[in-house]
Chain A
């Protein structure tokens, strides 16, 4: 995992007055599943479009397999399996025609594998794109992304709006891809339970900035959740370093914290607050806590 398949440094992008990406730096190591999370409009798709070479950096550099995706589209796109957010497949084609069409772009297209995937995803060659359901459309898109056995899979919101059965297919495909030695997956999602399940590393993108980027295990272990009970009801939660968010009222509060465990617990003791429960927050709880913490500090500025 020493090689970096994707290397982004100091990437910025404006659309008119709106800053879509601000000084984003990110490395995706080979053989890992990298989950990109963020709210709608955080810049996830813009970031992925730079990796695919669809957008030219206004500032900073993007390297994929060591190449510049804008200068060398065949060298980069030929090695990426891509599923776009809106699954824009040509509406007038049948699946057979889609196969022929897509195959022309990828010298490494594997017809045997494509056939296997077709059976696995319960699709047939004669089906026309407009007759496909949402789930079938996602499976068809995924099939086209996988059938040339790309060393890098880039999936933009692969399972949003899909039923659990198709979501499972997508997740299985992600795992199957990395199980094949040396392959790498980068996917964006706002479904944090699935990001927590399949990712090795995650990055949180917020308003075009990288808020956090690290191995998932480290993210989980460095955050913790406390349920505390004060002797007197608290009209609002006291300011404490390390506490990202708090919910509750009166005497019992739940706080999500990051680091500074000893300092925080000492501060709580000083306030005569008893720690009732310690638990480990899920990625979703951590994400929400981070977002609220950012919103609060920008409100204070």
Chain B
């Protein structure tokens, strides 16, 4: 698992780790049931404190991205998010608001934005095909 942390960004590291794991899952580079590195292992790999990694894993577990099995480690879950529809929508709405704000400011109209969104989504699918 390759994660790249950015110092030029004030986003806390635990969030950067969690976001990138989500991205790797969404793009198929991490598959269901795949085991993640141990907390200590990833801390040493990234030169961040184990507490940071543990926090990232806790967040991912709360969102249903990973499951931690006692004594065995942390695994990518089988893709069924335990979050309620309402909660899922809340998270997505937040992201969409940010995206819409950006695109309006940049003068990108809705039609173009939808087209771009579709293109990116296809790119995610093509990653998954390569993996298979």
A197 interfacial contact with B, CB 8 Å: yes
- Taking CB atoms, residues of chain B closer than 8 Å to A198 are 47-49
Question: Which residues A3-44 have CB closer than 8 A to chain B?
Answer: 31-33
Contact B49 A178 (CB under 8 A): yes
Contact B40 A179 (CB under 8 A): yes
Residue with the highest number of chain B CB atoms closer than 10 Å, among A175, A200, A223, A225: A175
Contact B47 A168 (CB under 8 A): yes
Contact B44 A179 (CB under 8 A): yes
Interface with B: A54-62, A144-152, A258-266, A280-288, which one? A280-288
Contact A280 B10 (CB under 8 A): yes
By beta carbon, the residue of chain B nearest A180 is B40
Contact B9 A282 (CB under 8 A): yes
- Docked Cα-Cα span, A282 to B12, in Å, equals 9
- Docked Cα-Cα span, A200 to B55, in Å, equals 11
- Taking CB atoms, residues of chain A closer than 8 Å to B5 are 197
Question: Which residues B1-28 have CB closer than 8 A to chain A?
Answer: 5, 7-14
Q: Given contacts A193-B7, A197-B7, A276-B105, are A175 and B12 in contact (CB under 8 A)?
A: no
Contact A32 B51 (CB under 8 A): yes
Which DSSP category, helix, strand, loop or mixed, fits chain A's interface?
helix
Quote the shortest CB–CB distance from A153 to chain B (angstroms): 13
Cross-chain contact of A197 among B13, B40, B50, B55 (Cβ < 8 A): B13
Contact A216 B12 (CB under 8 A): yes
- Docked Cα-Cα span, A276 to B10, in Å, equals 18
Contact A220 B10 (CB under 8 A): yes
B36 interfacial contact with A, CB 8 Å: no
Question: Which residues A183-233 have CB closer than 8 A to chain B?
Answer: 193, 196-200, 216-217, 220-221, 223, 225
- Taking CB atoms, residues of chain A closer than 8 Å to B14 are 217
- Measured as residues with beta carbon below 8 angstroms from the partner, the interface class of chain A is 20 to 34
- Docked Cα-Cα span, A216 to B51, in Å, equals 12
- Measured as residues with beta carbon below 8 angstroms from the partner, the interface class of chain B is 20 to 34
Q: Given contacts A179-B40, A179-B43, A276-B105, are A223 and B49 in contact (CB under 8 A)?
A: no
- Docked Cα-Cα span, A1 to B50, in Å, equals 13
Quote the shortest CB–CB distance from A285 to chain B (angstroms): 7
Interface contact tally, CB-CB below 8 A: 63
Question: Which residues A59-103 have CB closer than 8 A to chain B?
Answer: none
By beta carbon, the residue of chain A nearest B41 is A179
Quote the shortest CB–CB distance from A181 to chain B (angstroms): 9
B52 interfacial contact with A, CB 8 Å: yes
Cross-chain contact of A200 among B9, B44, B47, B49 (Cβ < 8 A): B49
Contact A176 B7 (CB under 8 A): no
- Docked Cα-Cα span, A297 to B55, in Å, equals 37
Cross-chain contact of A217 among B9, B12, B40 (Cβ < 8 A): B12
- Docked Cα-Cα span, A32 to B52, in Å, equals 10
Cross-chain contact of A172 among B47, B49, B50, B51 (Cβ < 8 A): B47
Task: Write out, one digit per residue, whether chain A residues 41-56 have a CB within 8 A of any chain B CB (1) or not (0).
Answer: 0000000000000000
Cross-chain contact of A196 among B7, B40, B44, B50 (Cβ < 8 A): B7
- Taking CB atoms, residues of chain A closer than 8 Å to B44 are 172, 175-176, 179
Q: Given contacts A179-B43, A198-B47, are A280 and B9 in contact (CB under 8 A)?
A: yes
Cross-chain contact of B50 among A179, A221, A280 (Cβ < 8 A): A179
- Docked Cα-Cα span, A20 to B118, in Å, equals 61
- Report A's interface with B, CB cutoff 8 A: 1, 31-33, 168, 171-172, 175-176, 178-179, 193, 196-200, 216-217, 220-221, 223, 225, 276, 279-283, 285-286
**Nearest 9 pairs of A and B residues by beta carbon:** A280-B10, A217-B12, A179-B40, A193-B7, A281-B10, A282-B10, A33-B49, A200-B51, A171-B47
- 8 residue pairs A–B, Cβ–Cβ below 8 Å: A32-B49, A33-B51, A171-B47, A179-B40, A193-B7, A196-B13, A221-B12, A285-B10
